[in-house]
Each structure stands twice: as C-alpha cells, then as structure tokens.
Structure 1
Amino acid sequence: MTDATLSAPGPRSALRQLCRDQRVWLTSALILAVLAAYDLGQAADSALFAGRALLNTAPFLVLSIAIAAGAGATGADNLIARAFTGAPFLMIALGALAGGISPFCSCGVIPLIAALLAMGVPLSAVMAFWLASPIMDPSMFVLTAGVLGLDFAVAKTLAAIGLGLLGGLVVLLLSRSGALANPLREGIGNGGCGGARVRAPKPVVWRFWEEPERRAKFAKTALTTALFLAKWLTLAFILESLMLAWIPAETVTAALGGEGLVPIVTATLVGVPAYLNGYAALPLVGGLIDRGMAPGAGMAFLVAGGVTSIPAAMAVWALAKPQVFALYIGLSLVGAFASGLLFQLWTMA
C-alpha cells in the first residue's frame, strides 16, 4: 500500500467532509422537510418567504460580492485598508455617521461587513458602521417621525450614531491590547487578516480581466462568498418566517408595559431576539406607548431589535469569530439600555 493510498480519504471520510461543508444547507432542507410532513402550507410559506427575502437582499449581496471579489483581483483591497489607517477616531466617527444614515437592514449589512473586513479595514471602524447601520435609515426616519413623533426619530438617529461610536471605541481599546486581531472565521475572505494590520502593499491592476490568474481569483472569490452568504441567509430567513408565523406580535410587546427601569431592561432583553423588523415594530410600539408604556422602553426595544434580531445574529455568528459575536451582542445590550434610559430621562426633563 502506497503513501498516496494511505493519505487518500476513504468514501466515509469524504462523505463526512461533504456533510460538514453542506451542514447549513442540510439544516434548511431538514427544517422544510419536517414542516412539509406536518404542515405543508407552512413549509411552502417559509420557502417563499426565504426566496422573497433573498431577492430583496440580492442587490446588496451582488454589490458587496462584486466589491470584495474585484478588490481582491485588482489588489485594490490594499489601498482600501491603507485608507483606514492613521486616524482611528476619525474612521470610527465616519463609520458611525455613515451607518446612521445608510439604507441597510441588520441582515443586508452583513455582506458589506464581510467585504470590508476581508479587505483589511480595521474592526473598530467596521464595528461602528455595523452597529449603527440597522437602526436608522432615511425612510425609517420619516416613518418613525410619522408614527412616534419627530423627537423619537431624532433620538433614535442619535442612538444609532452613539451606539456606533461606543462600539468602535470599545473595539479600538481591545484591539490595542492585542485582542480581536483576526475577527473573521477561517475561510471567510482571506481568513480574517483585516482589522489589526494592513497587508503589505502590492501593485494595483485595475484591468484585472486581462490576466487569467486575476480573472480566476475574481470568479473564485465571488462564488465562494456568494455561496457562503446564501446558505446562512437562507437558514436565517426560514427561521424568521417561523417566528412570524408562530409567535404573535402581542406576546413579545405585551411584556414591555409599565414605568421605571424594569420595562427598559425587559425591552432590551426582549428586543435582542425580536423577530420584528423596524417597520413592523413601529406601530406596535406606538400603540403600547399610547397605552402607558415608558417611551424609554420603546426606544430600547427598537434599538436592540434592530441590531440583533435572531436572523441577523445568525448571520453575524456565521461571519465572525465567537469573541467578536459576543462583543457585538454585548455592545447591543449596553447600547440599547443606555439609549432607552437616556431617552426616558430626556422625556421626563
């Protein structure tokens, strides 16, 4: 028996590897299969929901995948990484401000975050954008002002920017101590070499399609990134559809009534796994505020739910290493509670 024979994987080993590589797709298929066995209608609804959600997210996916693949193929990722050096506080401030006015939801921002981190953009600036982006956008501002009032809309925008600044500064301090050097999981981008260091400069070749090796790199990066994002977002959207179907909105929001600190704490904890998107949550929170819920609790619920709904948290878990995921959730909790408390104090002044 030759060394090659000894080292070659057997059929069982190859099958196990295939299952590991495809476990997310298999999980989605298993959920739909179990649903079909017990409730065919819900299985169809969940599949259609996931399909529509992926189509709605597709423009963001295509754009970010093209940016990431193009940056790698041309070598422009080095320029982008170098642009984020030398002024960390300014980059954090710009990231938080851009996030507060960008039109990204908590799931839609994930592919852009993957592209930025894979390019070597420091995690501190990315985290500022990451936390602020899902909370507010121009259309959300207008709708929030119409449903909850202009004061609430302005306060929510400031909460988004403030949460981004908080997250960016905390990550910057941790990064300077040597932590969070490799934020991405292995196999995402280039293995997560961004964040704490800028890669060695290489010449940029903008007409990458003229070189076979660069064309191949573009195609490989685009395909790998697309498949990774598609499988995780598909599973997330299927789970979101089940939460929408099986958990009445009133069940989540009924626990948020009352006054004092307790409702703000409760709203923060309930908001983290909340399945409601920002638009659907507004009238429900508005109704509860009309019935006596503390405005600070409403703010905490909207901020926490906007940043870390279960589908979005799953996407973050798939993308980032566990310590970055834990930090993301922790910052969301602290920021949502602080936003609710400050807004409550402001309304009482």
Structure 2
Amino acid sequence: MTELALSVRSWAADLVHRLWGEERVWLVSASLLVVLFLIAPEQGATSAAFAAQNLINVAPFLVLSIGIAAYAGATGADGLIARAFTGSPLVMIVIAALAGGLSPFCSCGVIPLIAALLAMGVPLAAVMAFWLASPVMDPSMFVLTTGVIGLEFAIAKTMAAVGLGIAGGAVVHIMSKAGGLTNPLREGVGNGGCCGSSVRAPKDVVWKFWHDDERMSKFWREGIKTTLFLAKWLTLAFLLESLMLAWLPADLVAQTLGGSGLAPIAVATVVGVPAYLNGYAALPLVGGLIEQGMAPGAGLAFLVAGGVTSLPAAIAVWALVKRRVFFLYVGIALTGSFVAGLLFHIWTSF
C-alpha cells in the first residue's frame, strides 16, 4: 500500500474515531436532521428552527454561567467559592435549596455552574440541593404561575422546589457519609468530588487576571470547552424536544392526567418526564386541565417532575455526572414530585 493510501486511511480512521468518540453527539444531531429533511422536510425545518431559537433563548444564561465559571478558574477564586460552601452540611443544604428556588437560572443554564462547583470540590449534597430546586422555580416563573394558575399554586410550587432541594440534599449527604458518591463527575468533565484540587491546593487570587497571559489562556480555554460541551448536548436535546412537541398529541396528555385522587398524581409524576414541554409552555396546559377538573396536586406533580427532569436538563445531567448520580437525581426528583403533589392535594382538599 502506497504512503499516500496509508495516510488517507489513517486520516479516515482518525475522522471516524473523532466522530464516534468525542463528536458522536454532533453526529447524532446531524444525522437526525438529515433523516428529517429526507422523510419530512417541513418537520426538519421546524426542528432546526426550534433548536436554534431555544439555543438563542438560553444563550444569556449560558454565557453568564460559563463566564462566572471561567472567571473563577482564571482568577483562582474557585477556591474561595468552594470554601464558601464549607461548614455545617445541613446549613449549606438549606442555603443551597433556598438559593436554587430564587435563582433565575433555567435547568440548562445552571449546568455549567453545577459543573464548576463540583470541580471545585463543593460537597455533592449542597450542589444537589441547588440543582434540584433551581429548575422548578425562579422569580419570573413565580409571577407567570400566579397569573396563569393562581397565587396559592405559585406558593406551593415554590415550597415544593425548596423542599425538594432540602430533601434531596439530605439524602445525598447521608449516602455520601457512607462513601457511595465520591467523584460524581464523569471522566473529562472535571476533577471534582469532595476533594477537588481547588480545595486541596488553593492558589492566590488574581482578580485582574487579564494581565497574566497564562490565566487569560485558561479563561478562554475553559470557556470554549464548556460552551462546546453544552452546545452539542443542548442541540440534541432541543431537536428531540421539537419532535416530542410535534408528535405527542396534547389531547392524549390531557386524557392521561385528567381525573382526581391519588392515581392521577402518580401518573402525572411519571408522565411529566417525557410529556413536559418547558416551564412556561406547560403552565397554560396545566391551568386548562385544572379548570377541567384535574386535581391541583396532580398538576403540581406534573410541573415539578417535568421541570427537574425536562429533556434538555436530563440529557445535560447524563453527560455531566456518573450514572449512579444521574439515577439518584431522577429518583429523588420523581419521589419528591409525588410527595409534593400529594401534600398539595391534601391541603386543597380541606
């Protein structure tokens, strides 16, 4: 075989390895779009536009989160941030849950912040408390929920977010003390866990890092790496969500979640995972179902379960942490959503 042929073969093998290795997510997204344009051109265009628009909508949150994480790493402030999460684990869990319930981050925008906190060595229990509470409620969501469904429901959803965060953080704390959740991040995402390098060997903080070429290089390197990591997973997630919106009949969701009693709460908790649209689009659907006789507890369970385990968030979590942490995250979310719906059902029954 000639030298040129060997070179071409080597290049092709390397290309295939990259596409199916680090870049396989992009390959799946591109393949999905190609198939859609071939068999359903109109849906292909709709899905592409949907993914692009949602990436644009979430971009401000991503830029802010990525910028904070990259700045903390470049300045050396990540060690200070990690130390700010030290102290009494139970106090930190409560503070993290409250911060998550009041933060303006969406379920995707909070991902880079979570990755940074874990890589800094922040205990998983406190991070999980923030992580579970953050996607469920934020100030703008509270206002919109009040307008669409009512103030009582908005307050209940806020309490569910904070309660879910505290309960989830407590469960993780107990499991972590038993030694079952060390090093939660996947390989290549960070060197996190309870003994992150930022805590083991903190560096001097240089706030004006742009005067240091090495720190400036680290800022851009980490920022670009995190941006590409999130972009590939969110693109795939939004493409899949567009197909869910197009091919999942809304009336089927309404029929499944209708009725009253405990069964609809359990069904709403499970159905909320694949059927959830997004925090804002789901509100009118739930409001309409409640007006048609659906139990408010079922509506709350649907919104909380769907918010925490929405398609973009779930895919991002899967890509970020190891499997046992992912399944623990989903398990806590579903259990907590059912309990929140059940408690709200009991409250509204009086």
TM band (smaller chain) = over 0.9
Aligned to 2:3: none
CA apart distance, 1:248: 2.1
Do the aligned partners of 1:68 and 1:119 also contact (CA within 8 Å) in 2? no
Task: Find the counterpart in structure 2 of residue 230 from structure 1.
Answer: 231
Report the more deviating stretch, 56-65 or 193-202.
193-202
Aligned to 1:14: 14
Question: Which residue type is aligned with residue 33 of structure 1?
Answer: V
Matches within 5 A, 1:273-292: 273-292=274-293
Match of 2:118 in 1: 117
Structure 1 partner of 2:73 = 72
For 1:194, the equivalent position in structure 2 comes to: 193
Q: Paired residue for 1:337?
A: 338
Q: What is the deviation of 1:290?
A: 2.0
Partners of 1:243 and 1:275 within 8 A in 2: no
Residue range with higher mean Cα deviation, 211-220 or 263-272 = 211-220
Distance 1:278 1:253 in 2: 17
Taking the aligned partners of 1:304 and 1:89, their CA distance within structure 2 comes to: 24
Question: What is the deviation of 1:305?
Answer: 0.8
Question: Matches of residues 1-349 of structure 1 in structure 2 within 5 Å?
Answer: 10-11=10-11, 13-19=13-19, 20-188=21-189, 190-191=190-191, 193-195=192-194, 198-349=199-350
2:275 aligned counterpart, secondary structure:
coil
Shift of 1:51: 1.0
The amino acid across from 1:14 in the alignment is D
Distance 1:271 1:174, change over 3 A: same
Aligned to 1:3: none
Letter paired with 1:279: Y
In structure 2, distance between residues paired with 1:72 and 1:61: 16
> 1:120 Cα shift?
2.3
Which letter does structure 2 place at the counterpart of 1:240? E
Task: Decide whether the 8 Å contact of 2:309 with 2:333 is kept in 1.
Answer: yes
In the aligned structure 2, how far is the partner of 1:195 from the partner of 1:251? 45
Instruction: Evaluate the alpha carbon distance shift between residue 89 and residue 48 of structure 1 in structure 2; reply closer, same or farther with a 3 A threshold.
Output: same
Cα offset, 1:26, TM superposition: 0.5
Higher mean displacement: 301-310 or 271-280: 271-280
Q: In structure 1, what is the Cα distance between the partners aligned to 2:13 and 2:89?
A: 46
Q: Secondary structure at the match of 1:278?
A: coil
The letter of the residue matching 2:156 is: A
Larger deviation, residues 304-313 vs 212-221 = 212-221
Gap regions ≥5 residues in structure 1: 1-8
* C-alpha RMSD over aligned residues: 1.7
Q: Which moved more, 1:318-327 or 1:208-217?
A: 208-217
For the 8 Å contact 1:103–1:138, the answer to whether it is kept is yes
Q: State the one-letter code of the partner of 1:96.
A: A
In structure 2, list runs of 5 or more residues that go unmatched. Answer: 1-8
Shift of 1:196: 5.2
TM-score, scaled relative to structure 2: 0.92
* 1:245 Cα deviation after fit: 1.4
- Return the offset for 1:342: 0.3
How big is each residue's C-alpha offset from its partner over 1:90-122, in whole Å with a ceiling of 9 and x where there is no partner?
Answer: 211111111112222222222222222222222
The CA deviation string for residues 257-308 of structure 1, in whole angstroms up to 9 with x for no partner, is 2222111110100012223112222222222222221221111111101111
Distance 1:312 1:263 in 2: 24
- Deviation (angstroms), 1:13: 4.8
Does structure 2 conserve the Cα–Cα contact (< 8 Å) formed by 1:117 and 1:194?
A: yes
Note the C-alpha offset of 1:333: 0.5
Q: Percent same amino acid among aligned pairs?
A: 67
Task: Provide, for residues 135-170 of structure 1, a one-character-per-residue CA deviation record: whole Å limited to 9, x for no partner.
Answer: 111222122222222111111110010001011111
**Contact residue 123 and residue 196 of structure 1 kept, 8 A:** no
Amino acid at match of 1:71: A
Alpha-carbon contact 1:50-1:237 (below 8 Å) kept:
yes
Which amino acid letter does the alignment assign opposite residue 17 of structure 2? Q
Does the CA contact (< 8 Å) of 1:124 and 1:195 recur in 2?
no
What secondary structure is seen at the aligned counterpart in 2 of 1:183?
coil
1:208 is displaced (CA, Å) by 2.2
1: distance between equivalents of 2:109 and 2:216? Answer: 27
